[in-house]
A and B are shown apart, each in its own frame.
Chain A
Amino acid sequence: MKKRITVALILISVLVSTFCPWVHAEEAESITVYNWGQYISDGTDGYLDVIEEFTARTGIKVNYITYDSNESMYTKLKTGGATYDVIIPSDYMIAKLIEEDMLEPLNFDNIPNFQYIDEEFRNMEYDPENLYSVPYTWGTVGIIYNTKYVDDASSWASLWDERYEGKILMFDNCRDAFAIAQSRLGYSLNTEDVEELEACADLLKEQKPLVQSYVMDQIFDKMEREEAWIAPYYAGDYLFMVQENENLAFSFPEEGYNVFVDAMCIPKGCQNKEGAEAFINFLCDPEISGQNLEYLGYSTPETEAKQYMDPNVANSDIAYPDAETLSRATSFVNLSTEANQAMNSLWLEVKTAGSNTATYLIYTAIAVVIVAVIAVVIAMQKKKKKQRRGQSRK
Chain B
Amino acid sequence: MKSKLLSAPYIVWMILFTLVPLGVVFYYAFADVNTGQFTMANLANMGTYTPIFLRSIWLSLAASAICLVIGYPVAYYISQTKPTTQRFLSMLIMLPMCMSFLLRTLAWVALLEDTGIINRLLSNFGIGPLPLIRNNGAVILGMVYNYLPYMILPLYSVMVKIDRRLIEAAQDLGCNSRQVFGKVIFPLSVPGIISGISMVFVPAVSTFYISQKLGSTGTTLIGDVIESQFKGAYNPNLGAAMSLVLMVLIFICVGIMNHFGEDNSEEGMVTI
Contacts and interface: CB of A to CB of B under 8 A. Distances in A.
B256 A357 contact: no
A375 B253 CA distance: 12
Nearest to A68: B231
B65 interface: yes
A320 B182 CA distance: 72
B202 interface: no
A376 interface: yes
B267 to A, nearest CB: 10
A72 B233 CA distance: 10
Q: Do most interface residues of chain B lie in helix, strand or loop, or is the interface mixed?
A: helix
B265 A382 contact: yes
B57 A355 contact: no
Interface string B218-246: 10100001001111111100000000000
Contact of B260 (A69, A212, A354, A379): A379
B23 interface: no
A174 B232 contact: yes
Contact of A355 (B52, B183, B232, B261): B52
A324 to B, nearest CB: 34
Q: Which of B65, B216, B256, B260 has the most CB of A within 10 A?
A: B260
Interface string A358-379: 0011011011101110111011
A337 B34 contact: yes
B264 A383 contact: yes
A360 B220 CA distance: 13
B55 A218 contact: no
Q: Which of B34, B263, B266 has the most CB of A within 10 A?
A: B263
Interface residues of A, number: 51
A193 interface: no
Nearest to A222: B113
Contact of A348 (B212, B228, B265): B228
A371 B232 contact: no
Contacts of B229: 348
Interface string B33-66: 1100000000000000111101101100110110
Contact of B187 (A75, A213, A214, A381): A381
Q: Which of A208, A226, A227, A356 has the most CB of B within 10 A?
A: A227
B91 to A, nearest CB: 15
Q: Do most interface residues of chain A lie in helix, strand or loop, or is the interface mixed?
A: helix
Contacts of B57: 364, 367
A379 B58 contact: no
Contacts of B68: 374
Given A341-B234, A367-B57, A348 B113 contact: no
A386 interface: yes
A379 B259 CA distance: 9
A218 B109 contact: yes
Contact of A345 (B55, B65, B235, B261): B235
Contacts of B113: 222, 225, 227
Contact of B193 (A221, A225, A363, A378): A378
A276 B234 CA distance: 28
Interface in A148-194: 172-174
Interface string A378-394: 11011101100000000
A69 B231 contact: yes
B225 A348 contact: yes
A354 B219 CA distance: 10
Given A337-B34, A340-B234, A386-B266, A370 B260 contact: no
Contacts of A227: 113-116
A348 B233 CA distance: 9
A121 to B, nearest CB: 27
B187 A385 contact: yes
B220 A351 contact: yes
A203 to B, nearest CB: 15
B263 to A, nearest CB: 5
Given A214-B217, A360-B55, A375-B261, A367 B187 contact: no
Given A348-B225, A382-B265, A371 B65 contact: yes
A387 to B, nearest CB: 11
Interface in B117-136: 134
19 contacts: A69-B232, A71-B231, A174-B232, A208-B217, A221-B110, A222-B113, A226-B115, A341-B33, A344-B235, A351-B217, A351-B220, A352-B49, A357-B54, A360-B51, A360-B58, A361-B54, A364-B61, A379-B264, A382-B265
Given A208-B218, A214-B217, A355-B51, 18 more contacts: A71-B234, A213-B216, A218-B106, A225-B113, A225-B115, A344-B234, A351-B217, A354-B218, A360-B51, A361-B54, A364-B61, A367-B57, A372-B256, A374-B68, A378-B190, A378-B193, A382-B190, A383-B263
Interface of B: 33-34, 49-52, 54-55, 57-58, 61-62, 64-65, 68, 106, 109-110, 113-116, 134, 182-183, 186-187, 190, 193, 212-213, 216-218, 220, 225, 228-235, 256-257, 260-261, 263-266
